[in-house]
A and B are shown apart, each in its own frame.
Chain A
C-alpha cells in the first residue's frame, strides 16, 4: 500500500510486475520475437539432427565431373567446385556450427559462472582480481586469441573452440557477478545468513536458482556470438578443417568463384545469419518472458 508517492507512481501503480504468471507457454506463443526466434533456431537444430541420419548426397564425396551445377531436381541448390551437393553441405555445416557453439558456450558458461559466483560471494580482493582478469581477457577478441593459438598449435576445430570458449568467459563472469550481487543484497539472503548458512550453501540454494533465467538468456545470446566467431575462423581457415564441411569454409571456397557462381556465396552466409538471428530473437524473447523486470525497451 505504501508505494513511493512519485508522480509516476500514479500511473505505474497499475503497471507491470503484478501480472500473475498464467502459463509460460501461453504468453510465449503470443510473443512475436520469441516465436520467430524459436522457429528459426529449430530449423537450424532440425537441419543438424537431420544430417545425422540423412543427407541428399554425401557431404564429403568429391565428384569433379558434376562441379558447379546450377540448382536442379537432383541438387536442389546445385553443387560446389568439387561437385559436392550444397544442400548436404549446409545440413552437415549446421551440425559443426551447433557443436562448436555448444562446447564453446559450455566452456564460457561453466568457468564464467563459477568465477562470477565466487566473486560475488567472496568480495574483497578475490572479486577485484577476478574482475581485472576478465576485463583483461576481454581485450583479446576470439579471432585474436585463435590466431595466437593457431600460430603455436596449428589451426583446427579444437583451437577455434578453445579460443571462442575463453573469449566467452569474461561476459559470463560479468553477468553472473552483477546479478549475483543483486541477489546477495536481498532480504531472504540476509535471513539465510542470519540462520547461519555458509556462503557456499547460500550460493547454491539461493543465488544460483535466482539468476538462472538471466544466465539462460545470456547463454542464448553468447551462442549466437560463438556461431559468428566460428564462421569467421573457419572462413580464415583457422577453424573447422576440410573435409569436414562448415559454413565459414564454404564462404571461403565460394569467394574465389564470385564471378562464376555468385549464389554459392549467398547460401552459407544466409544460413549463418538465420542461425544467429534466430538465437538473438530467442534470447530477447526469453528475457521478456522469464524476467519482465529485466526487459528493457526493446
Chain B
C-alpha cells in the first residue's frame, strides 16, 4: 500500500441551481483517501454528503457548478469529458445507492444488469459476462444465483436487491466504492447483514470505501476515519475513534446526543437539536450552524470559521472549541 492518496479532494465546492435560486450545496471540502482506507460521511439530509458523493462520480446535474479539485491517482477528474468519465465509473469508482427497490431497471434481468459493467469496461463476451455475473451474485450471497440470474428485479426482496446492486458495483473490481446510505431503506435485521457483506468485500478486495450515513452507529462500526457535514461544509473530521472520544463541534455533540440508545431509562426524552436544517439557498453568513448552536457568539456569524486542529489529524470548524471541548461540553 503506497502512501500516495488514491483520491484527493481539495476545496471542493458545488453550486446547484434550484427553483429558489443558486445554492451552495457544498463548499470547502478537503480530504484524501488512501488505498484500502475507509471514510465515513455523516450528517442530516440536505447537508451535502450525497452531493459530495455525486461530485466524485461526476453525476451531478449539468447545471451544477463545481470548483476545486478531485484527483484519482493524481489525475484531475473535474472538467473531465463525460466519455472519459464513463470509463472510470463502474470500473474504478463504483457506487451503491440508497433505494434498492428503484435502483434496478425493472425491464432487464438481474444477470444482464450485473453483467452490464463487465461488458462495458472489460470487453468480455456475453457468455463470459453472464458466468461472471453468476459468480458475483453467488459471492454476495444471493441464493440460487445460477438459477435466478434470468429473473427480474421485482421477483426479489429489498435485501436481495441490495445484494444485487452490490454485485453490480463490484463487478469490475473498482478501487473505490461509494456507498450512499446503503441500508437506510432496509429492515433493521437486514441492515447488519448488508453492512457486513460490504465490509467483508472491501476488506477482501483491498478497496477504499466512502460510506455515507446519517447513523452514527453505522459510521462508528464501519470506517477508519469520518467527516461530519453540516450546511454543505465539513464541520469536523478525524479518525473515527478520536472523533467519538473527543467531539469538538457543537453539532457533532448534538448529533450524538440525539441518537436513540438501548438501555436508556424509560421515559428519558431524546435530546434533539433545536431549530431546523438551514435552506442551502439562503445559508447564513458565517458558521452554518450558528442559528441552532447553544454557544453561539456574535463573531460566529461574521465569517465561516476556519478549521482548528484539536488533535492529530482531528479538525473542527469552530472558533469556540475552548468552550465546546472544555469541561462539561464534550461527549456527554
Contact = CB atoms under 8 A, between A and B. Distances in A.
Interface of A: 1-11, 13-16, 19
Given A1-B277, A15-B20, A7 B48 contact: no
B180 interface: yes
A1 B276 contact: yes
B273 to A, nearest CB: 9
A15 B48 CA distance: 14
Interface stretch (B39-47, B260-268, B306-314): B39-47
Contact of A13 (B49, B180, B279): B279
SS class of chain A's interface: helix, strand, loop or mixed?
loop
7 interchain residue pairs of minimum CB distance:
A7-B50, A13-B46, A14-B18, A5-B45, A10-B50, A14-B281, A9-B45
B25 A5 contact: no
Contacts of A16: 19
Interface string B1-36: 000000000000000101110010100000000000
Given A10-B25, A10-B50, A14-B46, A5 B279 contact: no
Contact of A15 (B19, B44, B181, B277): B19
B53 interface: yes
A7 B20 contact: no
Nearest to A2: B45
Contact of A5 (B18, B54, B98): B98
A6 B18 contact: no
A14 B23 contact: yes
A278 to B, nearest CB: 27
Contacts of A6: 50, 98-99, 181
A98 B304 CA distance: 62
A14 B51 contact: no
Contacts of A13: 45-46, 277, 279-280
A7 B16 contact: no
Interface of B: 16, 18-20, 23, 25, 44-51, 53-54, 61, 97-99, 180-181, 184, 214, 276-277, 279-281
B262 to A, nearest CB: 21
A14 B98 CA distance: 20
Given A14-B281, A19-B19, 4 more contacts: A1-B44, A1-B276, A14-B16, A15-B20
Contacts of B54: 7
A14 B50 contact: no
Given A5-B98, A16-B19, A10 B279 contact: no
A11 B44 contact: no
B50 A9 contact: yes
B62 to A, nearest CB: 13
14 contacts: A1-B44, A3-B45, A6-B99, A6-B181, A7-B98, A7-B180, A8-B50, A10-B46, A11-B51, A11-B61, A13-B45, A14-B20, A15-B18, A16-B19
A117 B22 CA distance: 42
A240 B51 CA distance: 61
Nearest to B23: A14
Contacts of B48: 10
Nearest to B282: A14
Nearest to B276: A1
B216 to A, nearest CB: 14
Nearest to B64: A11
Contacts of B18: 11, 14-15
Given A1-B276, A5-B181, A5-B214, A10 B47 contact: yes
Query: Which of the listed residues A4, A10, A19 has the most CB atoms from chain B within 10 Å of its own CB?
Result: A10
B158 to A, nearest CB: 15
B19 to A, nearest CB: 5
A9 B185 CA distance: 14
B277 A7 contact: no
A5 B98 CA distance: 8
Contacts of A7: 50-51, 53-54, 97-98, 180
Contacts of B53: 7
- Residue from B18, B47, B53, B97 having most chain A Cβ neighbours under 10 A: B18
Contacts of A4: 45
Given A5-B214, A19-B19, A10 B99 contact: no
A297 to B, nearest CB: 13
A124 to B, nearest CB: 27
